[in-house]
Amino acid sequence: MTANDNNTLEMNTASSAQRSPASEERSATASAPVLPDQGIKNESDETPKKRWYQNTILRKIGYALIALIIAVTVWGYVLMSENPVRTKRIESVRLSVDGGSEAGLRSRNLIITDDLTSLLPTVTVNVQTRLDQLPRFDSAIGEVVTATINLNDIRSPGEYVRQITATSTIGTPVSIEPSTVTITVENYVTRDIPITYSFENSMPDGYWHGEPEFRGDDTITLAGAESKISRIVKANCVINLSGLTNSINESFEPVLLDDEHNELDRLGIVGVVPSVIVSMKVLPYEDISVEDFINYAGEINENYEITSVSISPKILTVAAPHETLDVISDTIYIDPINVSNLYPGTHQQRISFAGITSDMKLLSDNSFIVTITVADKEVQRSINIPIEDTVIVGEDRELFNYQYGTRSFSVQFVGPARIVNALNQGDISLYLDVSGLLRGTHEVTPSISVEGEPSWLYDGSVAITVQHSFCTVTTATP
C-alpha cells in the first residue's frame, strides 16, 4: 500500500465521521431492513480478519526487504559497469633463483653456502587487479605468482642482500613482504672423500665376518661450498652386525664425518651423496683342538719316556660353510712327529695343519709349537757279586779266623735306565775292609767301585745299595 492510498483512506474516514446521526440511521434502515423474528446484533459479535499488509510490523519488514533487494541490484550493476581495482594478498609464495643465474654463479666457481630450499623463505605478494579478475586466482592452474632473486652480478665470495622481484599472470604485483633476502656466497669446490666403515652391535655366536670391500673406488666425489666440503674427513658406512648370518653385497648410504667423528649435515653439498656397494663375507666358524690331531712316528728309545707335551697355541679356528665344517675332522691333518731320535731333555718342533681347502678361512695362525719333554725311564736292577770276587782287605789270619755270613753280595741300582741297564757284573768291584775287627760278630758292608769311575757315581743320579753281611772273628787255632 502506497502513501497516496493511505491519504485517501484517511479522507474517507473523516468524511464518514462528519455525517449526521440521522443520515446514518436512515441509511442503515434503508440498506438493512429488519426481518421478522430477527434481533439486532451487536457490532462486537463479529470482527472481520485483517490481511497481512494491514499488519503494521509485517508491512515494515516487507518494505525493508524490497529496499535491500533494490540496493544490492543497483550496487552490483554499478560494480560490473565500473570494474574497480582491487588488491589481492597472496601468501606463502615460494622464493626461487632467477632462471640461469644460479648456473651462471656455478660457472664462476661460486655457490650459495646453504641449501636454497632451506635458505630462501616464502614471501607475501600483494597483487593489484580488476574486480572481475579475482575469481581467476582460485581457478588458475599452476603458479600464478612467482618470486625470484637474481645472482648474475655476483663475482666473488661474500654476503649479499638480494632484492626480491615478483611476477603474476593475473594483475600486477605492487609489494613484497619481505622485499629482500640475505645470502652468503662461497667458492665452489670438488673433493674426493675416502670411504671407511664401522660396525654396530655384535655378530651372532658362532659366526665370523670378513673385512668389508667396496665395489669400485675407495673414494666418493663431493662438490659444494668450500666451508662445508673442507670439514668432511670421511664417508663412513655403518654396518649392523646384529643377526647377520649370511654374506652381504648391499648398497649403503655413507655418513659424512668430521675429524672428531661428528656426523655432518648435507647442506651446501651439490647433488646427492653417492651410495656405496659393500661386500662382506659371513661364515660360521669352529674351534679345533690341535691336541686331537697330534700323533707320533717311530719308537722312542726303550730307556726313555715322554713325560709331557705342550702345544701353543692350542686352538685352530676355521670359518667355512656348514657342509665343510661338518666333515672338517676328516679333511685336515697334521704330519706325525718323529720321536725315534729324541733323547732326555726338552725338544720343540713347529707343526701346521695340512688339507686346508679353498672354502676354509683360517681365523688363527696355522703354526703351532709343540714342546716335548723326554726323560730317562727309572729302573731298578740287582747284581750279585760272589764273595770270591770281592776284594777283602785287613784280615789278620795269624791271630784270627774270619767267617762271613753270605757267599755273595747283592748290589741294587735305582736310576736312569740308560745307566742302570748298561751295567755289567764285570764293571763292578766290591771291597770289604775288616781291618781292626776283634773277636766277635760284626756287621760289615762292602764299598763299591765302577769301571771308569762314571760321574753318576758321585752326583747321585743313581741310588746304590750294597747288601751288608756279618763277619764272625774267632781266635786262630795254633
Is the peptide bond preceding residue 313 cis, with omega within 30 degrees of 0?
yes
Residue 179 has pLDDT above 50, yes or no: yes
Sheet architecture: strand order including 378-386: 378-386, 408-416, 463-466
Q: What's the CATH class of domain 379-475? A: mainly beta
What cell numbers appear for 388 in the block?
Answer: 770270591
Instruction: Give tens-digit pLDDT for 106-129.
Output: 889 998 887 666 677 889 999 988
Q: CA-CA distance, 283 to 210, in Å (whole number)?
A: 8
Q: For residue 298, which phi and psi values (nearest 5 degrees)?
A: 80, 175
In CATH, the architecture of 285-376 is Beta Complex (2.170)
The x, y and z cell numbers of residue 361, run together, are 678361512
pTM for the full predicted model: 0.59
Report the C-alpha gap between 278 and 275 in whole angstroms: 10
Contacts of 57 (CB under 8 A, 6+ apart): none
The CATH number, out of the four listed (3.40.50.720, 2.40.50.100, 3.30.565.60, 2.170.120.30), of the domain defined by the range 85-200+211-236+253-274: 2.170.120.30
- Residues 6+ away with beta carbon under 8 Å from 25: none
Where in the sequence of the chain do the CATH 2.170.120.30 domains occur?
85-200+211-236+253-274, 379-475
Report which of 421, 338, 348 is spatially closest to residue 378, judged by C-alpha positions.
421
Strands laid side by side in the 165-168 sheet: 165-168, 145-149, 85-97, 122-130, 172-177
Highest mean pLDDT among 5-9, 76-80, 205-209, 417-421: 205-209
pLDDT averaged over the chain?
85
Say what the pLDDT of residue 9 is: 38
What percent of the chain lies above the pLDDT cut of 90?
61
In the prediction, which pLDDT does 20 show?
Answer: 42
Rounded to an integer, what distance in angstroms lies between the CA atom of residue 311 and that of residue 474? 69
Q: In the block, which residue shows the cell 550493476?
A: 77
Stretch 25-50: mean pLDDT: 47
Helices in 165-253 by DSSP H: which ranges? 226-229
